[in-house]
Structure 1
Amino acid sequence: MSDDVEGTLPDRLARAITMAGPIPVSQYMAAANAHYYATRDPLGAGGDFVTAPEISQMFGELVGLWAADLWDRAGRPAVAWVELGPGRGTLSADALRAMAKAGLAPAVHFVETSPLLRGLQAERVPGATWHDSIDTLPDDVALIVVANEFFDALPIRQLVRRSDGWHERLVACQDTLFLPVVGKSVPDEVIPEPLRDAAAGAILEVSTAVVTTVRGLAGRLARQGGAMLAIDYGHEGPALGETLQAVRGHGFANPFETPGENDLTAHVDFTTVAAAAQAAGTTAWGPIEQAELLVKLGIDSRAATLARARPDLAERIAADRMRLVGEMGSLFKAMAVTAPGWPTPAGFGA
């Protein structure tokens, strides 16, 4: 039903909390982001944030060449290109153009639930096939999977340490104001052993959604062949600290205000991603900084080539390169996952 019938998302969440009690942070985040991405194009100057593919074509092109090189060294098997949360389709459009020059022209599959974003993706990548989840991806060919700023938007649980142990963090509602509260205790077994005796007030974030998705994809890679490249902001864990944040209008907002109108994200624990991938029988590489990956893949030579072709844009190209490998290049990390028998992915070797 539409908001006109059911009320706005904050209204619906407020009613649900009033009737059934506070909800886990993961449930709140999932509902807020589902509404957010279904109702707008969040990218660009007129949106809330800008991703690397929107900064420069160099990003998508280098990812495409990374995939083509890996495919070539794997023996050129039949493959499908998969992007998770493709935004406007910009990364895939640039990557496919670069792959084609290297002889790779795979079928394209997007995992995307937003009708609005699917429309934008169709303009840039005609002929793509869309999926609501990874469950319906092809099972008869190897997969090259790219997840750029995808895992950070998946829902997280927050666990908070009190004097009497660890508790689930919940979201309550009081007079239409959403706020985090401490819920029921959780067994120590769900807390990594080095963190169990943390100081009171410490927060641990975990994401069942990330683990489930990575295991599902890695299981497919183990059976079908292929690789995944995940690029996101995050850390190597386990680590304490709250990273849940909201972005709106290219600035930070309160994640507990106006749910569904802000982009909610949290840092990715790449140690957990690697463990989930390895448990499914694949090999995890990294994480390394985005800057290191792009430099190893040849962003400097690509920027020089573009500048020679368009001298009038040389300053902009140099600025875009610096943005990708500067502060953004250290904040964002890259991890690759490869199927058994597949070669070491470019950028991740010695």
Structure 2
Amino acid sequence: MTARAAHSVARGLAALALVAGLAGCQPDRGSAGRPSIRADGQAAPSASAPVGPPDARGPGGAPAPAAPAATADAGQSAGAEGDSMTMTADQVQVLSTSTDPKELMKAAIAAARSPEPAHHDLLKKHLESGEFLGRLDSEEDYRQAAGRRLRVSRVLEALAVNPLPTARSAFVALAASPVVLAEDERTIALLQASAAVRPAPPELAAFWDKHAQPDDGFTPTTVTVLIENGSPLALALFEKKMADPRHEEGDKIAWMRSRILPHRNDAPLLEACERMLQGGLPKHLRPALVEVLFDYRPGEWYRPASVHSPPDRRKAAPEALGVLRRIGERSLKSIPLSETQRKAVEATLEEIKKLLP
């Protein structure tokens, strides 16, 4: 099933669930494999697992993401391939000639992690080759991607977390490569890995925007990535999508309950929510956003198989608590909240008084 088809199915199921009052988010499609990411934007390990490799988030940032799902080479540890920061001459040759997918992945990850700019350029050239991609992941691997991650996804993740400018430039260039983007699975892999590229350059923001269009099938994944990334351009684009009337309101509520909720301790995201509540978000959707920031109603918001959990507010940074307090105080004065929503805001403000010095 393509990303577009999966998205259509997910949207239909979500709409039915919303009408029934059982869920406020697009349903999960399983515990592992790309269709679960494609349909609901979540990483395979859990319903609310963050996307992308660990990376510093700064004050008020989210916890480090969970480990990625198993690759096509099941049984190998997450750090077993290419642990060395030095790429050998033999590995350079492997990239050009090897037909052993495991050996090839190990060499490619070594190039991605390398401190040498020449290795990053070499890897980019190989990843833009259909012949190389075919040696790395077979047609059968793509057919089985529902249960096993492609090897190329591991390579892209390693490249994305390399902070060197040449590594970042190589990654961003791949996000514009027609060869790489020819397969939906590789596009998903690029999107997922891009969450670690902070701060996001304009070229990457353009890639995200291109894959966050109504009914394109990639938007749920992209929204997850924008919030996970948390850099200014990412959050500005998220605000733009929330304000875009072409995206269905049911989807926006789903993003609130499944994407914003797990990160409601993040100060940059709270600041973005504050801006949306002051003007960017349609007025009739603002109470729903306030509810997600101050309350938690899993019985009303989710189906049993797709429950998302909020972070412990006691672990939020003072900066984040300050923004949340400001949002709460303004919301009580300017947003038409229900009695239940008002009580949730008031209870949280009392909690914040105890948490802040």
Give the TM-score taking structure 1 as reference length: 0.27
The structure with the largest helix share of the pair is 2
The structure with the largest strand share of the pair is 1
